[in-house]
Amino acid sequence: MTQSVGIVTPQKIAFETPIALSSGVTLPRYDLMVETYGELNAARSNAILICHALSGHHHVAGRHSQDDKAPGWWDTMIGPGKPIDTDRFFVIGVNNLGGCHGSTGPSTIDPATGEPFGSTFPLVLVRDWVETQARLADHFGIRQLAAVVGGSLGGMQALRWTITHPERVRHALVIASAPKLTAQNIAFNDVARQAILTDPDFHGGDYYRHGVVPRRGLRLARMLGHITYLSDDGMGEKFGRLLRSGEYKYGYEVEFEIESYLRYQGDKFSDYFDANTYLLMTKALDYFDPGRHYDGDLVPALREAQARFLVVSFTTDWRFSPARSREIVKALLDAGRDVSYAEIESVHGHDAFLMEDAPYHNIMRAYMNRIDAEVNA
Amino acid sequence: MSAPALRPDLQRIADWIPPQASVLDLGCGDGTLLAWLARNKATRNYGVEIDVDSVTACVEKGINVIHGNMEAGLTQFEDGAFDFVVLSLTIQAMHNVEGILREMLRVGRTGIVTFPNFGYWENRWQILLGRMPVSETIPYQWYNTPNIHFCTLHDFDALLATLQMRNIGRVVLNEGQEITVLPNWRGSLAVVRFEKV
């Protein structure tokens, strides 16, 4: 019987040591919003870091109060008796630097000016996030993480961890991810960014001081993104050509259920997500290319790694298709690393990594059992 | 710690593999052979497996396994990446037999294949009586069999020759016992080692 981690309370952790970012900018200090579940063992060897994707955050599992409508974004995966078992592991969820859920980001007040950072907040790369996460591990006195786990952009962080801190990560679970974006991936991201950047309420990124948010842009960006998270089959299965009223209305109002769904998703998202954070996250995706400093070759980059890997993809994911995961697997094999790979049948497209599915959860559980045997012996 | 006994055909394969060798097991199933080799011979292992539940069973055992269909080739593996490449009781169900044998000796130095010997006397006898053979090593009916490429011991050696490969050792079994006299008549299962000529 699986249960929830229950009521959880996030904590804000302050880092007062300046961090030099890849962009050349140095942040004098920053906060990270964090949640943890389970107990760190005496050897501090059972910690699992969960890296979030584009719109994720530190609230990975459980609920903040009894009345919370939805649990954390990966509650299906993490909890007592779940594949990432909080009875056996100390699980860390973190909102990345540049985020909008409590960690220092564009919407945070800049102590130097007393106003939100807005357009002055620097771009942050995946390797910068990994650096801040490594400092977070230091904060907990963790020398080596039992595993870094992430889907999509989160998987990229797991991959980066193994290259920049090889001795600090035993296992990397890289799910529905890619070794770098394709031109098509970047193109989608740019359309999303253009929607935000050209919104009249954007004000060059300093919309906070105008008391507005670029809702229309953010909404469009999310609608576009959402299309790429679903599969054609999955969308067809769920919505098909269903009409809300059953009749054609010969106009431009919401008619098809898919239109209604996307607009709802866009509205909901633009209520709580910060547009500058969205821009920043998409750029982090675009820039990610761990082979870049190795003549564009991922293999020598991964020769640095010491971790063992589990790579998982989903058959109908076209945002980061199984072929992209197989590129990671091939590079790991060529680099002489230990890797297992599974390609899970699913109609849910890219979003499948967030869903409950027996074969997917079984393989995650099997892999986590191995880690448990190593670190909790 | 004594390991549980392997199936006789898998034990023959394991006996041929020296300690610390690198081994690729194609169609590795639940990873039984590789887990035994890892434990008893400290080999460096990889498996390829098409069934997701079997992949999970391998992961549970700590075996490196790549989920996929080897009919598409072994493109993820570099030339000469392994000392041994094993294909156990699968070749008779593959579409491209020549292709997989070539791939085995591209990514590995020595291939080991096991297959049901169609020349086994019970098979011959059933055909003589006018029926398709059904036996311990060929347990299917003609209409539901996954097996599409049956051969005898001699046929397999002949194919190796056309591929510039050669048989460098063979064990023939029947009900787990080694058959040395009239193996192409009396043996139901062949275990063959082969290399490039």
Q: Which pLDDT tens digit goes with each residue over A190-237?
A: 999 999 999 999 999 999 999 999 999 999 999 999 999 999 999 999
Q: What is the mean pLDDT of residues A255-284?
A: 96
Average pLDDT of the residues of chain B? 94
Burial of B96 (0-12, 13-18, 19+ CB in 10 A): middle
- How many A-B residue pairs are in contact by the CB < 8 A criterion? 54
Report the gap between the CA of A340 and the closest CA in chain B (Å). 5
Residue A355 pLDDT exceeds 70:
yes
* Ramachandran area for residue B31 (φ above 0: left; ψ -120 to 50: alpha; else beta): left
Say what percent of chain A tops pLDDT 70.
99
Kindly tell me the number of DSSP H helices and DSSP E strands found in chain A: 10, 14
Binding-site residues on chain B for chain A (CB distance < 8 A):
46, 52-53, 55-60, 62-68, 75-78, 81
Specify whether A152 is catalytic.
yes
Average pLDDT of the residues of chain A? 97
Quick check: A366 and B66 CB within 8 A? no
ipTM at complex level: 0.94
pLDDT tier for residue B168 given thresholds of 50, 70 and 90: very high
pTM: 0.96
Comparing CA positions, the residue from A116, A280, A114, A283 lying closest to residue A207 is: A116
Q: Does A310 touch chain B (CB under 8 A)?
A: yes
Q: What is the pLDDT of residue B4?
A: 65
Considering CB atoms only, which of A329, A334, A367 is closest to B78? Answer: A334
The conformation of residue A172, written as its DSSP 8-state character, comes to E
Question: What CATH topology corresponds to B8-196?
Answer: Rossmann fold (3.40.50)
The answer for residues whose C-beta is within 8 angstroms of residue A70's C-beta and 6 or more apart is A63
Rounded to a whole number of angstroms, the distance between the first and last alpha carbons of chain B is: 40
Q: Answer whether A156's CB lies under 8 Å from A126's CB.
A: yes
Q: What is the pLDDT of residue B64?
A: 97
**Nearest residue in A to B44, CA atom:** A338
Contacts A329 to B, Cβ<8 Å: 66, 76
Contacts A369 to B, Cβ<8 Å: 60
From the list A85, A199, A274, A317, the catalytic residue is: A317
Specify whether A45 is catalytic.
no
**So where are chain B's domains?**
8-196
Residue A163 pLDDT exceeds 90:
yes
